[in-house]
Structure 1
Amino acid sequence: MGMQRIAIIGGGYAGMAAGVSLAAAGRQVCVFEGAKTLGGRARGVELDGRQLDNGQHILIGAYRTLLGLMQQVGVDERTALLRLPLTLQQRTPHGDFRMVAPDWPAPLHSLGALLGAQGIGWGDKLSLVKLMLGAQLAGFRLATDCSVLAWLEQGGQSPQLIERFWQPLVVAALNTPLETASAQILLNVLRDSLMGGRHDGDLLIPRVDFTALFPQPAADWLAARRSEVRTSCLVRRIARDAAGWQLDDGDERFAAVVLAVSPQRVADLLPETAALDTLREQLAALHYQPIQTVYLQYAPDVRLETPMLGVAGGLCQWVFDRGQIHGTPGMLAVVLSARGDYSDWDATTLARRVHEELVQHFGLAEPPQWSRVIHEKRATFACAANLSRPGNATAVPGLWLAGDYTAGGQADMTYPATLEGAVRSACAAAEGILKQHFAGISF
């Protein structure tokens, strides 16, 4: 019976999604997570008695795979997530930009959002609508991938429109500068969100920490189904012999192994065989982008006009009011995506400079009572145009990959480094394992 088990290395969103998918099909899994806390790069952290997150992420209504998995393991979306209609509010040095989708049926809600946007002229609105309709007519497919900036310039988007609409959207979605970001991947996201169903573009902001949002409920769900989740259990080596897959020097054997860790860790764990040379080359070719989250605790009466607000023209990109989201009045989370000059600043300098910008934008009277910076140096892979991404199956039977960096099969199904991309990859890996190793087997 032991050889029917599947080992999953990594207890982040991809690893836990793979476990749930396989266990739902009747397979026993054992998840190995090196850290004490589940979630990987999207996990809850406690700093000075404050329950925060390793980084501030959002979901959208189009994340059907993740939302379905959450429901499957018993997470109530109504209490775990704050759902807002598709909204993009941006403060810039040249005036505010605001776009809100009206309560109209799709696709009219998208047209209403674009034409009703405040802060841009009618020329920009019409060029924006023209570009999106052209993308829709082309099936959101490019003959050849190119950078987002090249695609926007070919589509006649003005510098003002790029600054107020495209720049914050692309950096938030792809965490990659417009000059190098993949236009095809952006189109995949736009198709599923802005140009999708009525609620596909809704913003879903977690009210609980990211470990509690899915990984821990998934672990509890797995434990009730003859599966295990082992935290503080770092796997350093995998090998295959006649009895199956072995982790480190343990006595257990597994029918298959899913590597649901970062690409860097995958490279370290791969067995030494020429069959995996192409995969090693793909992993080595990946580049990475950081994300810094600056938490600042102000007086309880500090409150933004909306739970999430964009800021352009300086360091800050997105500001989240955790008082409105998590019930911690006065706590703001400021996100700085992709690499910039600030990436090398010390935490004290960065927090001070962020506060100075917040004073300019929101007129804050007092300095923060407390601040912390979380710097994820390799938060995501750089989602560059024409990037060669590995698939879920490897050249070694029984060895599988799951993670947001993998390809989504067809080009129009591939996502950037998002939680949805991670769990989609995991579900695809699980499906492949079931077909390759358990076809015709049932319990």
Structure 2
Amino acid sequence: MNIAIVGAGWAGAAAASQLSAQHQVTVFEAARQLGGRARCVPHSVFGHPIDNGQHLMLGAYTQTLQLMRALGLDTEQAFHRTELGIISADARYQLRAKALPAPFHMAAGLLTATGYSWSDKYKLIHLQLALQRQHWKVPAQQTVLQLLQQHQQSHTLIEHFWQPLCLAAMNTPIDIACAQLFANVLRDSLGGSRADSQMLIPKQDLSTLWASHALKHCELLLGHRVQHITPDTTGVLVDGQHFDACIVAVASYDCARLLGHLVHSAAEQTWLQHIQAIRHRPIATLYWQPRSPWLEPEPLLMLHEQPHKQHYGQWLFNHHAIPNSFADNLISVVISNADDASLLGRESLVQKTEEQLRTQTHSRSPLPAFEQHELIIEKRATFEATPTTFRPEENTFWPAIKLAGDWLLNPYPGVLEGAVRSGIKSAQAILQSQHT
């Protein structure tokens, strides 16, 4: 078959990897780089590539890791693997899983944690055991905050454990975030094996991490923003070029733009309206070049978000502590759900975030002076993962057109593993339609 894939993000690349060995695949990508919302920025003020956001993966991202290995990549070399930990920059809180088999790795980490009371530790264990007894199922329409309140999680746990984890995983505030999606993430990480719970920090930029390998057998058209997709009696036309099938692997708003003109029936109109109603949340990533390497040994630290001080940073990465990191000695801060932070203005946000860093790392190795910085704000980084967010299937009303993306129906919020799973599922749907 001759197959078009619109979008060279992680979903499109995953779909291409499943199809290009036996079929002719053409990939259209509007940007000049691969990776979609997880891509490389080749020209930075630092003179070397950086990513458009600081991404963190989990050992539980099984299909992504399996796909990378199938492409011949060494995942142990591609990532810096570290035990799951909540280590606050100000040293008030520390919880790190131990090098023990599950479930003892988390139990030992919790028992030796500092900053959390014994009552808090009991409540954490109680919540995990309750979710396990419920087979990780929670009431429909429940939010993360409602789940935490139901299980009597303390203010300390919510503010200094659950809220940072929820924002990191879902980029959605806990008072509206979907509890079931969050429970799925907890099931596959905290409730999984020790390897599943480990954190994986990429040591290569996200465009070359694996997407370039997945697309090496495809015709790749970078800088081509598709304008028209039209099904016909034998397949589909993509900007006038005929294909047997097409996978639309773009964000929901671009999907609505490309397929909206095909909608006629009431069912199709309802489907399109639901897609158009999907909301998105921004993520800001701030990079600094220190005058000298920061000698702090922890690669990842939790920051305390304090909106009343205009301190919005949540996670701090020290690339000097990551052996062979492509980002060299850069320091980066991630601000999820960055609507309020974006209102500050770029220079004010940089100033306030540096103030936050220097205040909260005061008890650690001295933070060097900063020479240069770069602020990247992805205004529509992920979809808003609420209990009522519409998430369609890969199949559409037009048999030759399939969808792919993290926003489609899958067990996860808007994370990279969800994109990969959707891309693989969409490719399988194309292959099944060929046989039927």
Same fold by TM-score greater than 0.5: yes
Q: Determine if contact 1:299/1:329 at 8 Å carries over to the other structure.
A: no
* Equivalent residue runs for 1:8-407 within 5 Å: 8-24=5-21, 26-45=22-41, 46-48=43-45, 49-91=47-89, 96-220=92-216, 223=217, 227-249=218-240, 252-270=241-259, 271-275=261-265, 276-314=268-306, 315-325=312-322, 326=325, 328=327, 330-363=329-362, 367-407=369-409
4+ residue segments displaced more than 3 Å: 327-330, 363-367
Question: In the alignment, what sits opposite 1:411?
Answer: none
| Residues 215-239 of structure 1 deviation map (CA, whole Å, 9 limit, x = unaligned) | 112122xx2xxx3222122211111
Q: One-letter code of the match for 2:174?
A: L
What SS is found at the alignment partner of 1:157? coil
How far off is 1:329 after superposition? Answer: 5.1
Query: Secondary structure of the residue that 1:199 maps to in structure 2?
Result: helix
- Secondary structure at 1:50 match in 2: coil
Match of 1:313, SS state, is: coil
More divergent stretch after superposition (95-104 vs 397-406): 95-104
The structural deviation recorded for 1:50 is 2.3
Q: Greater CA deviation, 203-212 or 40-49?
A: 40-49
- Distance in 2, matches of 1:329 and 1:339, equals 26
Aligned length: 421
Tell me, yes or no, if the aligned pair for 1:300 and 1:329 is still in contact at 8 Å.
no
Equivalent-residue separation in structure 2 for 1:84 and 1:112 (angstroms): 16
Q: In structure 1, how many angstroms separate the alpha carbons of the residues matched to 2:139 and 2:431?
A: 34
Structure 1 CA distance for aligned equivalents of residues 48 and 350 of structure 2: 17
* Whole-angstrom CA distance in 1 between matches of 2:270 and 2:403: 14
Q: Which amino acid aligns with 2:251?
A: S
1:345: Cα distance to partner? 2.3
Q: Normalized against structure 2, the TM-score is what?
A: 0.93
* Separation in 2, partners of 1:300, 1:421: 38
Contact 1:34 1:231 in 2 (8 A): yes
**Which residue identity lines up with residue 20 of structure 2 in the other structure?**
A
Q: What amino acid maps onto 1:168 in structure 2? A: P
SS at 2:402's partner residue? strand
**Corresponding position: 1:431 with 2:422:** no
2:329 and 2:435 mapped to 1: Cα distance? 52
Distance verdict in 2 for CA 1:104–1:228, change over 3 Å: same
Looking at structure 1, the residues matched to 328 and 18 of structure 2 have their Cα atoms a distance apart, in angstroms, of 38
CA distance in 1: counterparts of 2:357 and 2:186, whole angstroms: 30
Q: Contact (CA 8 Å) 1:299, 1:330: kept in 2 or not?
A: no
* Alpha-carbon distance in 2 for matches of 1:266, 1:106: 41
- What is the alpha-carbon distance in structure 2 between the residues aligned to residue 108 and residue 362 of structure 1? 31
SS at match of 2:225: coil
| Structure 2 gap ranges (5+) | 307-311
Q: Secondary structure at the match of 1:253?
A: strand
Q: 1:329-352 CA deviation, whole Å, 9 max, x = no partner?
A: 541010000034211222211111
Deviations 1:146-176 (A, max 9, x none): 1100110010100011111101100000110
Matched residues in 2 for 1:186 and 1:229: separation? 36
In 2, Cα distance between the equivalents of 1:120 and 1:90? 12
Cα pair 1:146 1:386 within 8 Å, conserved: no
Q: Does the CA-based 8 Å contact 2:40-2:50 persist in structure 1?
A: yes
1:322 and 1:99 map into 2 onto residues whose CA distance is: 21
Equivalent residues of 2:284, 2:375 under 8 A apart: yes
Report Cα offsets for 1:62-97 as digits up to 9, x if no partner. Answer: 1011111111222221221101112221246xx621
**How many angstroms does 1:310 deviate by?**
0.8
| Unmatched runs of 5 consecutive residues or more in structure 1 | 409-413
Query: Structure 2 vs 1, CA of residues 327 and 6 (structure 1 numbering), >3 Å: closer, same or farther?
Result: closer
Q: Which residue of 1 aligns with 2:309?
A: none
* Contact 1:32/1:231, CA 8 A, preserved across alignment: yes
Distance 1:203 1:128, change over 3 A: same
Task: Give me the whole-angstrom Cα distance separating, in 2, the residues matched to 1:96 and 1:136.
Answer: 29
1:176/1:383 contact within 8 Å kept: yes
